[in-house]
Every structure is written in structure tokens, then in C-alpha cells.
């Protein structure tokens, strides 16, 4: 017997790997997705375990899905305006079909969807922050006007809850940005993105790096600043990658006795650097 289960709130990019992993974790507990309203997900308790799939589907294909019977049950749909597509969530409780591989669509389309939904999520976060500060400030003014110090304990509790909420929202925003950054690197689409400049120093090279190879080019925009007679090369790299990711990407292109130092965009050149 199927019964209504629960609503859960999550800031997730629709159709992303992170969202799909979370939905399948719920399905493994026999909570099956039934609807999505903004950042709210509805589930119901079912008797069997499902595997969930998500796809970016053009409007014409969505109409075909509605007309034909399929072994995959359509669970929910999310309309996206930019680009004009729907994200369709399907599921199956048949073991043979649960091994099916579904492609996640064109990476550039995924990035467009991610950016659009990221903006919506950030608007929600901003409204929540402003509303929280307003209510917290109004409550404090009322306490001070009435002179009721007994309510200060309640106000402090609200303050603590507000701080925890802000930290949670910050963590959510950071996770969203990580997903966007990875998609930008996968597609090499950096238009409109702020790229901090990392200073990359490679010591022990006999010639400059070929930064046009796909692995290095996908990191961002490389600029050779200069090099010394001792084989120390200095590059500026506009990138969303972390220090460890840059070093890892460079490993196949340098020898074992070559040292790689990466300084953040706020860093300075190493002591003893000469062009």
C-alpha cells in the first residue's frame, strides 16, 4: 500500500548528479519522488525500491513521453525557461531496467540549466536573509521599548538560530558554486564568470608548457608571464580550479624532479624570483 510520506527541502541544481544521488538515496529507503515545487521535494512511502533517473528533455519529446506507455514511470517534471526545456524524473522498480544508463544531456545545456536554477536559489537565499534580519531587528526593538528583559533569552535564541541558518545558507551557496565551477570546467564556458588569477610557478622545465592541450586548457585561461635562465616558468592562470586540482592536472606534463608551486590570486611571487 502506498501512503503519503514527506516533504524535504534541498537547494540542489535540478538534474545534477548531486540531486540524483540524493533522490536515489531516498528511493533506497523506499521513499519515492512524487513532485517538486521549487526547492521542495515530495515523497511517498512505497513497498519496493526504485531507481530514479533524470533527463533534460525538449518540449516536443515531453509530449511524446505523455502519449506512450513506458516501463519507466514519470514521477515529476520541472519546467526551465532558459533554455526552454523540462527536466523529467522517471523511475523503475524492475531490476533489469534499473541497470539502464541514461545520459545526462549536452554539458552546455546542463550548464545553462545550472546557472538559471543557481540564480533562483540565490534569490531565495537573499530573501531569506533579509527577512530574518528584519524580524530579528523588529523583535529587538520591541523588547527595548517594552523594557522586558525576560524576553532577551528568547531573542538570544532567535539570534543563535539565525546564525546557524546563515551558516547553512552559506554552505548551500558554496556547494552550488562548486557544481557550477565543475560544469564550467567541463564545458570550458567561462563567459560571465569571475576567474581569480592563480600564480603557477614550475621549476625545472626545459621549455614552456603546451597550455592548449585539453587537460590544461580546461582549467582556464593561461598566460606566460616569464621565465628564468634556470628553467623557472611563471604562469598566470585565470581559473576556478583549486591549488590541488592545478597541481594534479600538471603532473602528466612535468617530470618527477620538476617542482610546481601555486599561489592564490592574493599571493606574491616567491622570494628570489627573477625574469
CA distance 102 to 96: 14
Q: Looking at the predicted structure, is the pLDDT value of residue 250 above 90?
A: yes
Mean per-residue pLDDT, 197-215: 90
For the purposes of burial, counting CB atoms within 10 Å of the CB of 200, is it exposed (0-12), middle (13-18) or buried (19 or more)? buried
Predicted local confidence at residue 271, as pLDDT? 45
Q: Looking at the predicted structure, is the pLDDT value of residue 240 above 60?
A: yes
Model pLDDT for residues 45-89, shown as the tens digit of each residue: 999 989 998 888 876 665 555 555 566 788 998 887 766 788 889
Model pLDDT for residues 165-200, shown as the tens digit of each residue: 778 777 777 777 777 887 887 777 777 777 788 999
CA distance 218 to 184: 9
Cβ atoms within 10 Å, residue 88? 20
DSSP H or E stretch at residue 244: helix 243-250
Q: What percent of the chain has pLDDT over 70?
A: 85
C-alpha cell of residue 3? 501512503
Helix (H, G, I), strand (E, B) or coil at 214: helix
Non-local (6+) Cβ contacts of 102 within 8 A are 53, 54, 55
CA distance 219 to 201: 16
- Quote the pTM value: 0.61
CA distance 121 to 33: 20
Burial readout 39-55 (b: 16 or more C-beta within 10 A, e: otherwise): bebbbeebeeebbbbbb
Cell 546542463 maps to which residue?
Answer: 110
CA distance 256 to 266: 28
Q: Mean pLDDT: which of 16-20, 56-60, 96-100, 127-131 is highest?
A: 16-20
Q: Taking Cα atoms as reference points, which of 105, 164, 154 lies closest to residue 132? A: 164
Mean per-residue pLDDT, 246-251: 92
Predicted local confidence at residue 17, as pLDDT? 82
Share the mean pLDDT of the chain.
Answer: 80
Query: Could you tell me the CA-to-CA distances from 161 to 155, 169, 223 in Å, in that order?
Result: 10, 12, 46
Q: Taking Cα atoms as reference points, which of 89, 100, 102 lies closest to residue 43? A: 89
Q: Looking at the predicted structure, is the pLDDT value of residue 34 above 90?
A: yes
Predicted local confidence at residue 265, as pLDDT? 58
Q: Looking at the predicted structure, is the pLDDT value of residue 258 above 80?
A: yes
Predicted local confidence at residue 78, as pLDDT? 87
Q: Are 255 and 204 in contact (CB under 8 A)?
A: yes
Query: Could you tell me the CA-to-CA distances from 185 to 43, 53, 111, 199 in Å, in that order?
Result: 33, 24, 10, 18
Mean per-residue pLDDT, 230-245: 89
3-17, 90-104, 234-248: segment of lowest average pLDDT:
90-104
Amino acid at each position: 500500500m502506498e501512503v503519503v510520506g514527506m516533504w524535504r527541502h534541498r537547494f540542489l541544481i535540478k538534474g545534477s548528479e548531486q540531486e540524483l544521488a540524493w533522490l536515489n538515496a531516498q528511493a533506497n529507503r523506499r521513499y519515492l519522488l512524487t513532485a517538486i515545487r521549487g526547492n521542495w521535494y515530495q515523497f511517498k512511502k512505497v513497498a519496493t525500491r526504485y531507481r530514479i533517473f533524470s533527463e533534460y528533455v525538449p518540449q516536443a519529446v515531453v509530449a511524446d513521453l505523455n502519449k506512450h506507455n513506458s516501463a519507466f514511470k514519470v514521477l515529476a517534471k520541472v519546467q526551465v525557461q532558459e533554455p526552454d526545456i523540462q527536466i523529467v524524473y522517471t523511475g523503475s522498480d524492475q531490476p533489469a531496467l534499473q541497470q539502464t544508463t541514461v545520459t545526462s544531456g549536452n554539458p552546455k545545456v546542463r550548464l545553462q540549466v545550472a546557472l538559471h536554477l543557481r540564480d533562483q536559489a540565490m534569490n531565495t537565499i537573499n530573501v531569506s536573509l533579509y527577512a530574518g534580519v528584519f524580524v530579528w531587528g523588529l523583535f529587538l526593538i520591541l523588547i527595548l521599548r517594552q523594557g522586558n528583559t525576560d524576553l532577551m533569552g528568547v531573542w538570544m535564541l532567535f539570534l543563535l538560530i539565525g546564525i546557524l541558518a546563515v551558516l547553512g545558507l552559506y554552505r548551500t551557496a558554496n556547494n552550488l558554486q562548486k557544481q557550477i565551477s565543475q560544469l564550467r570546467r567541463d564545458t570550458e564556458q567561462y563567459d560571465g564568470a569571475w576567474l581569480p588569477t592563480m600564480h603557477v610557478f614550475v621549476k625545472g622545465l626545459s621549455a614552456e608548457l603546451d597550455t592548449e592541450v585539453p587537460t590544461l586548457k580546461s582549467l582556464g585561461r593561461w598566460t606566460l608571464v616569464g621565465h628564468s635562465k634556470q628553467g623557472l616558468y611563471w604562469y598566470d592562470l585565470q581559473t576556478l580550479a583549486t591549488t590541488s586540482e592545478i597541481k594534479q592536472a600538471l603532473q602528466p606534463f612535468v617530470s618527477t624532479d620538476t617542482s610546481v608551486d601555486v599561489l592564490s590570486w592574493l599571493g606574491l611571487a616567491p622570494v628570489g624570483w627573477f625574469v
